[in-house]
Amino acid sequence: MQKHVLFENINDPKLHNIDRAIELGAYKAWEKVLKSIKREELVQMVKDSGLRGRGGAGFPTGLKWSFVPVASPKPKYLCCNADESEPGTCKDRVLMECDPHSVIEGVMIAAFAIDCHTSFFYVRGEYDLSMRRIEKAIDEAYKKGYLGKNILGTGYDLEMILHRGGGAYICGEETALLSSLEGEKGLSRIKPPFPAVSGLYACPTVVNNVETLANLPRIVINGGQWYASMGTEKSKGTRIFSVSGHVKKPGNYELELGTPLRTLIYDYAGGILDDKKLKCVIPGGSSVPVLMPDQLDTPLDFESVQAAGSMLGSGAVIVMNEDTCMVWVAEILAHFYMHESCGKCTPCRQGTGWLYEIIHRIEHGQGRAQDLDTLLDLAKNIEGNTICALGDAAATPVISTIKQFRNEYEYHIEHKKCLVKSDFRLR
């Protein structure tokens, strides 16, 4: 069974209007927080829920908040990361378009948890409808008195500022997002100091993902223990999995963490398109290692996917059938990371271009015998040697596809063509 927590009312076509959202329970959690919950109790409740970040790294949300020095005389900032650009990922978009009030209510609750009075909402540049829905939701919330000065007569002030990004993948990385918000180029910053201590305008800042934040109203209403009763021992709650690629029913599916990958692909996403054989799956957005068909019983939770040699990442599950040429896949991904590298760190700036160049020539019949060793050497020199994880994200698909599909690369180099049929190619 799909477990609808975030998707409880998602099919209601009027949910994005505040009156309908209120009828369905919106802002009850915000009122509860303002009127009857102390800040420390809220942080503890979220710690008890076991909620972990849905942006990629899976860091415990309550713990992240507790790093903010609340007694600091500096203002504290909360930023909602709605830059969603990891290839394959499209869950935050659905939440923003269909249920924007849950998302901004989550921002309000997280802001309260760190004693923040100015919050920011950073939306991916290309997400036009998301942007408009969030803008309208914020306006409506101000008009109803859920934002602004002396909210609901409680004395608490909170502003929410919407910012549209320029369409750069790197601006989803939290420190680049903060640079971009400050009006600078979206370049990553060295950590430490972590944003919780020195973030936006050098003030304590928390950056949380859209899906992470949308869970908060439900946790406040039902309690931390309720949330912790779903999922596995260490991976609590539900997750929205964006399934794409060669499946019969691609889309977003909300399931309890720990549901097997096989169930997601075969029971919910309808199985492999045209009933072909499964070749492999990228389980957490394009920057994580592939899983093979004999790993289909892997439970989709942070620990199990890691034990299987990959990562749950952004929850984007990309499914590929037997006709997929993995050199072609690696070429597309290498092009993406080369294009999106911000250029600050030399290994990533130079290395992503070299990775693409070599894979491109292999794919186009000009590969050389030593190319695979060069690719692995390059990828290993990027990995771990950059300020942010974009470098690792670029290296991983190369290392992983060579590890699992070396024969396809070798065939390309020797025969100057694909080992597989690849009949769905774009060119």
Binding mask 3-32 for ligand FMN (x = CB under 6 A): ------------------------------
Contacting residue, 34, 116, 147, 207, with ligand FMN by CB under 6 A: 207
Q: What is the number of residues in the chain?
A: 427
State which of residues 21, 83, 113, 147 lies at the interface with ligand FMN (CB under 6 A).
Answer: 83
Nearer CB in complex with ligand FMN: 24/57: 57
Residue from 364, 307, 302 nearest 330 by CA:
364
Task: Tell me which of 105, 173, 301, 323 binds ligand FMN, using CB under 6 A.
Answer: 173
Answer yes or no whether residue 174 interacts with ligand FMN by CB under 6 A. yes
- Check if the beta carbon of residue 256 is closer than 8 Å to that of residue 220: no
Q: Do 35 and 152 touch, CB atoms closer than 8 A?
A: yes
For position 209 contacting ligand FMN by CB under 6 A, the verdict is: yes
| Closer CB to ligand FMN, 54 or 218, in the complex | 54
Kindly give the pairing relationship between strand 278-282 and strand 316-321.
antiparallel
Q: How many CB atoms lie within 10 A of CB 123?
A: 26
Residues near 366 by Cβ (< 8 Å), separated by ≥ 6?
416
Least separation in angstroms between CB 322 and ligand FMN: 31
Assess 388 for contact with ligand FMN (CB under 6 A).
yes
Given 57, 152, 292, 296, the residue binding ligand FMN (CB under 6 A): 57
Among positions 54, 218, 246, 279, the unique one binding ligand FMN when judged by CB under 6 A: 54
Phi, psi of 308 (to 5 degrees): -85, 0
| Residue placing its CB nearer to ligand FMN in the complex, 15 or 393 | 393
In whole angstroms, give the CA distance from residue 190 to residue 75: 22
Q: Which two tokens stand for residue 248?
A: 């019969």
Q: Does 396 bind ligand FMN (CB under 6 A)?
A: no
Q: With binding defined as CB under 6 A, does residue 383 bind ligand FMN?
A: no
Q: Does residue 49 belong to the site contacting ligand FMN (CB under 6 A)?
A: no
Between 83 and 256, CB nearer to ligand FMN: 83
- By C-alpha distance, which of 355, 358, 376 is closest to 367? 358
Q: Does 67 bind ligand FMN (CB under 6 A)?
A: no
Q: Does 205 bind ligand FMN (CB under 6 A)?
A: no
Which one among 26, 84, 387, 398 touches ligand FMN, defined by CB under 6 A? 84
**What CA–CA distance (Å, rounded) separates 124 from 135?**
13
Q: Should residue 254 be labelled a site residue for ligand FMN when binding is judged by CB under 6 A?
A: no
CB 211 within 8 A of CB 91: yes
For the chain, how big is the Rg over CA atoms in Å?
Answer: 22
DSSP β-bridge partners for residue 256: 238
Q: What angle do CA 44, 45, 51 make, to 5 degrees?
A: 100
For ligand FMN, the closer of residues 67 and 424 by Cβ is 67
Which residues contribute to the site for ligand FMN (CB under 6 A)?
53-57, 59, 64, 81, 83-86, 169-170, 172-174, 207-209, 212, 388-390, 393
